[in-house]
Amino acid sequence: MASLAVLLLILSAARASNAAAVRVGLTRVHSNPDVSATEFVRGALRRDMHRHARFARELASSGGRTVAAPTRKDLPNGGEYIMTLSIGTPPLSYPAIADTGSDLIWTQCAPCGSQCFKQAGQLYNPSSSTTFGVLPCASSVSMCAALAGPSPPPGCSCMYNQTYGTGWTAGIQSVETFTFGSTPADQTRVPGIAFGCSNASSDDWNGSAGLVGLGRGSMSLVSQLGAGMFSYCLTPFQNANSTSMLLLGPSAALNGTGVRTTPFVASPSKAPMSTYYYLNLTGISVGTTALSIPPNAFALRADGTGGLIIDSGTTITSLVDAAYQQVRAAIKSLVTLPVADGSDSTGLDLCFALTSETSTPPSMPSMTLHFDGADMVLPVENYMILGSGVWCLAMRNQTIGAMSTLGNYQQQNVHLLYDIHKETLSFAPAKCSTL
């Protein structure tokens, strides 16, 4: 499997008070040719496990025009998607991880000393922008609003220290104009976006200059743009040159045959669980065989533990151990190849040795994820991953008490619609490179 990159093209942006939408295209291109498939899997799994090693991770109207913002796949360091946005006046572009599992939008800001990580482009400098402002503590999208109380002191500005499974960042919450689009003809400027101006961060963000939260909270880009719905379609990992799309706003509607819909499970009110998009996974089948998984295996408990989320920032799906062991046993019983130890080369638990690096893996039945009222059918290429001489189950067990996660590897060639107003996820199989 070739190492890949992804380009994300934002085609329009709007706020809630204006009837407009955000349209995004995704293009896969070759990234670092020296990175093997097994190195990619190992890097992605390392970041996924760090991401969940903790209990949880702490539109002005476009007038119908289209705008564009390039993105790429975060390789070789992991499987995140990197969006390129422009910030400030004059606008300065920066790459940031697109993450449905968090809310805060942030980038590194100058001055930034020894606690900042290296990034490819120049740092955003608020003193060079005519539209920069500091976000007051009492702002509805301030992380400090609850702490500041009803009458914060005059001049109170919000300092933050945000912790993720993969690292941390700290700085001051600010407000700026964001520009979407790659050329003057298709650019749309959106003023008043709240974001984090970070001047200290851990060194865990290779390939980006920050992060764009797309979660359920008020600080996410989805919420700030007033996008009542958004959808995306991830092109196959095996396809090195392909184009697909992400849409935010009314044009994200998913129509046609084969569309299935399942309700979101109400998120706990406590942060950060309140950010996540929870789903009710009721069972898993391999081929026509329903696996013997306890009916409450994926239940979201009253204390906020458990459950299953769908996350664009995680590559490899993790399942609670009681379910994972059933999936593992079913796959092992169907594959006649010798079992190989792929823990060192890929970090994955179940791998099979191919007769040669160019040999074709055997045919396998589809895997079906049974959600509340809707089945998601995964072809073999969505749950098995081909490495250097090994063929591995692209799933892992979740034994550390955190929620299970449906990662983006399992989402490839599935068109997904997050309807925020209806509190539903709709999906349909698609050839994402043709959308």
pLDDT at 297: 94
Cα(67)–Cα(184) distance, rounded to whole angstroms? 9
pLDDT at 18: 38
pLDDT at 163: 84
Cα(7)–Cα(234) distance, rounded to whole angstroms? 11
CA 86 to chain CA centroid, Å, is: 20
Q: Give the CATH H-level superfamily of domain 4-252.
A: Acid Proteases (2.40.70.10)
SS3 sequence of 145-165: HHHHCCCCCCCCECEEEEECC
Catalytic residue among 48, 99, 103, 186: 99
Catalytic residue among 48, 103, 186, 311: 311
Cα(417)–Cα(98) distance, rounded to whole angstroms? 16
> Comparing C-alpha atoms, which of 22, 213, 182, 185 is closest to residue 93?
182
What is the secondary structure of 310-324 as a DSSP string?
E-TT--SEEEEHHHH
Token pair 């391999």 is at which residue?
286
Cα(236)–Cα(254) distance, rounded to whole angstroms? 20
Q: Does the annotation count 375 as an active-site position?
A: no
Q: Does the annotation count 74 as an active-site position?
A: no
pLDDT at 186: 62
Cα(364)–Cα(361) distance, rounded to whole angstroms? 9
| Amino acid found at 241 | N
Buried b (16+ CB within 10 A) or exposed e, 10-48: bbbbbbeeeebbbbbbbbbeebeeebbbbbbbbbbbebb
How much of the chain is helix, strand and coil, in % rounded to 5? 15, 35, 50
For the chain, the structural domain boundaries read 4-252, 260-434
pLDDT at 249: 81
**pLDDT averaged per 10 residues in sequence order, the chain, 435 residues:** 30 37 40 51 57 36 31 45 83 85 92 85 93 84 60 72 83 90 70 92 82 90 88 74 67 87 94 92 97 94 91 90 97 95 81 86 96 97 89 89 88 92 95 80
Residue 116's DSSP bridge partners are none
Fold match flag (4-252 vs 260-434)? yes
Where are the strands (E) in 88-186, listed by range?
92-99, 106-108, 133-134, 159-163, 168-180
Task: Establish whether the linkage from the previous residue to 154 is cis, with ω within 30° of 0.
Answer: no
Backbone angles phi, psi at 40, to 5 degrees: -60, -45
pLDDT at 87: 93
Fold designation for 260-434: Cathepsin D, subunit A; domain 1 (2.40.70)
Q: 118: Cβ–Cβ under 8 A, 6 or more apart, which residues?
A: none
State the pTM of this model: 0.82
